[in-house]
Structure 1
Amino acid sequence: MTGPVRDGTDVRADATSPPERTAVVGARKRGRRGRRGEQPMVPDAEFTSYYGRPVLNKPTWHAGDIAGYLFLGGLAGASSILAAGAQLTGRRALARSCRVGALVGISGSLYALVHDLGRPARFLNMLRTVKPSSPMSVGTWILMAYGPAAGAAAVSDLTGLLPRAGRAATLGAAVVGPAVASYTAVLVADTAVPSWHEGHRELPFVFVGSAAAAAGGLGMIAAPVGEAGPARRAAVLGGVLELAAAKRMEAGMGLAAEPLRTGKAGRLMRAAKALTVTGALLGGVLGRKSRVASVLGGAAALAGSACTRFGVFHAGVASAEDPKYTVVPQREQLDRRGG
């Protein structure tokens, strides 16, 4: 929520509110004609609190639920794309493993989301309307379009029933797969949380690359070496995209990038980089001839993708807890506008 106080200065904002509703704290007051050079109406903040209250209410989402929801959804969406490619090129073992992985991933993702919401009815209530301006509303309908297709593809493969319908479902899931892998980045960036919102341009690319690396890792673990070529390429290309986008994102975030480098989030992001590189090199290169290297590389790629999602989540929470990540960028923006 936001709360206005005197002199036009807003105090607080809900961390999960859209950024346009974020409060401007410590704003400078201008004269009647907007002349430059006026003195600040309040002293510089010490970035502990504002009248004993935080600037933002930190996200109330549970880390295990929401970070797991982000990771498993990305794994599912990218796995469906890989399954469709494997189906079209005659790689049956790879196609089956990716279909099953997509079903398990989207089921786990939906469970984590509903568990965090507290009651299944809250998820179902979001289906009562379609609101294009809401990433959560759009994401809910994306999941409803994707889930049945991914489920039908996996069940048909495992049971042998309705094979044509199963192949069509595989292609249908692959069409929606990119949206499933990326919409969660838009969802978290469309908030007032500094370390999420400031990375809104690159975060979808980080999540897509991470999802591709995870799906590639799953394929390298589950499929024979002879069929795992597309999975190896997905792990390598996805890892390169993830690392490059993350580096560019941090470079453009200013102060809001600090939580990505420090504390628990920093440790997770460093682990993600190391594991992603290991998965690409071990599985993508050595995995071409060694089943052991393929499995170890695939496990590293999966773990790296999970660390990325958990790292981004914890960085956002840390940035919402510390007022400086909200106050300093807003003051700098006001200074730029004023002079």
Structure 2
Amino acid sequence: MPEDSVDHAKLRHHGDVDARPGMLDFAVNVRGSAPPDWLRLRLAARLDSLGRYPSVAADLAARSAVALRHGRAPEEVLLLAGAAEGFAMLPRLAPELAAVIHPSFTEPELALREAGVPVSRILLEPPYLLSAAAVPAAADLVVLGNPTNPTSVLHPAEAIRALRRPGRIIVVDEAFADAVPGEVESLAHAASSDVLVLRSLTKTWALAGLRCGYFLGAPELLARLSHGRPHWPLGTLQLEAIGATAEPVAVEQAQERAREIAVERASMIERLRAVGVDVHTPAEGPFLLLRVADGELLRKYLSDKGIAVRRADTFPGLGPDYLRVAVRGTAEVDRLIAGIRAASL
């Protein structure tokens, strides 16, 4: 797609723009308004050390915890100030042609285009199944999400591996993988010289304001990504949060949440369909892609009623009748359903 035909404003749009303070928030996929108490205590305990620079030992400790969690070596972990930093690093791989699988999170395409990297958009049609044949043979970088934002599609690991070609690097955005029971189809544990896996701690642990994430991949690729990075790229609290959430007890807690999300999602799908909303399935992420007539009008109506839903026309391949909603509990969904009913009267 020619650069002059791409709307960068849409690529920059994120769900937090749709959710004003005080609204019932279905627009942002963060789970909860603050980290759990045990994590807050861990972070608070480090406040007295903020007068010292983050140490090499603290960085190694956090990388080692992540490595142990995924069955990797510490050298295969690159800690990030949020997944967004990881996307901003992608141009350092110097691809000649990047293929981005859509509909999906737009930050990778934006980062690549702003760096002058040629981008080929691969627009999947419902049911949004991955096809290696759809990717240009010349693409030496392929970026996709799994599970994919906003479709909630979980691609089989084998379908992702089928994208591999000599000289090509695959980047899998697994920002929501820990919200899938068993983390099935994840490639985080599968060391490979040509596959990079990106993880975020923002959603499950309500750490959007702290910016925490990491890349998993071959040390040579991680070195290319981190080239030119400033000293002390992460702060003490970020390192503490990354290490803490990689511990076995935290991983099990995340899996408990994933199982809760699966139950809530099934109920939410049934209730939305009962009021005439088209919900894309199968859905495996902590969010749902909806299609409704006059979707933009519904979004504005709900906003006026204090309910925020994510516009989805900013995702390539989707139009104004598409909306994305985070999976929430019964009480929150009650208000959403009431709002949809009222809008149709």
TM interval, short-chain normalised: under 0.3
Larger radius of gyration: 1
Higher helix share: 1
- TM-score normalised to the size of structure 1? 0.23
Higher strand share: 2
- TM-score normalised to the size of structure 2? 0.23
